[in-house]
A and B are shown apart, each in its own frame.
Chain A
Amino acid sequence: MTSVLLLAGGCGTGAQSSASATDATISLWTRDTQKEFINLVADAWNESHDTKVEVTLVPAADFIQKLATSATSGNAPDVASIDLVYLPYFASTGTLEDITELADDLPYKDSLSPSHRALATYNERTYALPFSGEASVLIYNKSLFKAAGLDPEKPPKNYAEIISAANKISDLGPDIHGFAIAGQCGGCNVFEFTPHVWASGGEVLSEDGSQARFDSQEVTDALTFYRRLYTDGTMPAQSRTDNGTHQPAVFQTGRVGMVPLGAFYTQVLKQDSDVDFGVAPLPGKNGGWSSFAGGDEIAVMKNGENKKGARDFVTWATGEQAQKVLADNSITPVRNDLTDEIYVPLDPRNKLFAEAMEKGRTPYSTVEHQLFNDPNGPWIQMINKAVFGGDIAAAQKEGQEAAQAIIDRAPQGTNARGNR
């Protein structure tokens, strides 16, 4: 019964066995998908500081749950590197330390990624600093472009050109496909599909996040575009059930002409395959382009023990030393005052990623996870049903209703609630 009483009383007090034992260490949690570079960042800090950063990699699929569970007790880490789309949620629940003054004092605050800054703001207070960038682009196989008689230096600039190129590439052989998507991965498709909508002048959420726009004309056009790619037979069969594992793997084998993916993937391509690839912006229906400006932000946890160390570390993480470690590992920096110097020279293709971080957008919602990233949620179900089922109007209607219901049920609306 004592535990029940404790629960009724609110958050646990648990002073014991915290993730950060002493002031000499700073515990940092991040998703396992960051493992390629996060330890290098930690090493860079450890070499130049007396305190030590201890990294814990958490399986990405369970990251929110684990961070949230720990935040309700005294077991939270000092610092967490969080996918920027989840910041409004964590900020709205009072899990993160308000670091508005710290952020405002940064001399380079205006050079930080605009999307990151927007997502870290909740009720005009700042709860995290930008850490790593990740923008979506169209990655294409230059050898297949050549083989199909396309100009590898002139990637497609609108829906019609992509469809035409995908068909020409698919015609090269039964095992060759023009275009691959991850049709059962919500996170992938908010990253890869929404830029088409934005580039065509549409929205998926209203500005304040209070209205879903899944039924807009621009979404219809983009769905019709994907549907056409599928019915023309340019997609591999696995695209329909791919939860994100197949799409990059199959491009790596050199049998797919185009995939919408991000900067992180170019590192994999350079390491593990000999595919000659190019990068291009994700276009709108009749031209123009957009991108999903994603990545991670780094936040001080309210229940962490080593607040001072945490503040020092998040500040340092936006600095030149840390950002250079990212750039060296094909991760887009979040400082546009540095990109020309430390990032773009490493690979000419990086220029597009840097530009996309500036121009890109990110949906702002405290229920982003339920709307978009949930692999069984309304966004990906709409896309899957429309693209592979064919009834686009019905899929949109159903998606819109489900999404709006989630938004309406979200406690207190999106940006209205005061900081607890």
Chain B
Amino acid sequence: MITYSFKSPSEAVAAPPTLYPHDPSLEHYRALAGNGGIDVLDNVRNSVVVSLGTTLATLVLSILAGYGFARLRFPGSNVLFFATLVTFMVPFQALVTPLYLLLDEFGLLNSLLGLTLVYTTFQLPFGLFLMRNSFAAVPRSLEEAARIDGCGHLQTLVRVMLPVAVPGVIATGLLAYFTAWNEFFAALIFVNEQERFTLPVTLSVIAAGALGSRNWGVLQAGVTVTIIPCVIIYVLLEKYYVGGLLSTLKK
């Protein structure tokens, strides 16, 4: 796919396909960079902002609530926890119109904040699930020790529980980041101005040709641009992640 994206437009649709570009060309990337007055860099920045925002919000909220659900149980906490899982049971397409009207009422349409809030909401259940399980696996003795040292609930969470639950934190964060980075449908419907589009929407715009045709070369270049950052982040954090997992096991 990466090699395809470097082919010239005519070579990209050649049959039989060539294995590597015989005539390497940056034309598809040039098409990405300066197409129809779209500033792709703007859209990359939007995607980064939304994805990081979603990751941060998801992490903070699911760490707090995950700990609450795992260890600080209160009447109804089980029911409430299962109520969050209902989000997995509803097709997002069915909620688009209600969400649109809701965001409109809050004045959050056409804003990256609105998009971040929606993404965070739909990432939360899985984050809660992961964090609750991570915290539940921490031996109680650790927590008790901290309590005896006079730590409050939040201090216990931050100083004792969180370091042990790092793998869960990373998994939650990565999933939130990747999901937000790749999401298309909500980004398309809830954002109206081109300079606030996220990358997937822009790529779809760029790869489109007249009357539903599709430019395979530009599309490959676009898919490459979407995938590469994810893979890089993943490869960078993967070691840390596996290492963290192993260290928990040794305890």
Residue ranges of A at the interface with B (Cβ–Cβ < 8 Å) = 2-3, 6-7, 12, 14, 16-17, 19, 31-33, 35-36, 38-39, 42, 54-62, 65-66, 69-70, 73-75, 77, 175, 182, 185, 187-188, 191, 243-245, 247-250, 252-253, 255, 261-262, 264-265, 268, 272-273
Contact = CB atoms under 8 A, between A and B. Distances in A.
A59 B212 contact: no
Nearest to B216: A249
A420 to B, nearest CB: 20
Contact of B109 (A17, A248, A262): A17
Interface string B94-123: 000110111011010111000000000000
Given A60-B208, A65-B189, A12 B104 contact: yes
Contacts of B208: 31-33, 35, 59-60
A12 B105 contact: yes
B61 interface: no
Contacts of B109: 14, 17, 73, 75
Interface residues of B, number: 37
Nearest to B105: A3
Main secondary structure of the interface of B (DSSP, over half): helix
A248 B210 CA distance: 10
Interface stretch (B34-42, B47-55, B220-228): B34-42
Given A17-B107, A32-B204, A255 B102 contact: no
Contacts of A73: 100-101, 104, 109
Given A35-B206, A57-B38, A77-B192, 7 more contacts: A14-B107, A55-B194, A58-B188, A66-B188, A187-B211, A245-B212, A249-B13
A31 B210 CA distance: 9
B189 A33 contact: no
A245 B12 CA distance: 13
B10 A252 contact: yes
22 contacts: A3-B98, A14-B105, A17-B110, A19-B110, A32-B208, A33-B210, A35-B35, A39-B37, A57-B38, A66-B188, A75-B192, A175-B15, A182-B212, A187-B211, A245-B213, A252-B13, A253-B14, A262-B210, A262-B211, A264-B210, A265-B211, A273-B10
B21 interface: no
B189 A248 contact: no
Nearest to A61: B212
B101 A187 contact: no
Q: Which 4 A-B pairs have the closest CB atoms?
A: A35-B36, A244-B212, A32-B205, A245-B214
Interface in B1-38: 9-10, 13-15, 35-38
A265 B210 contact: yes
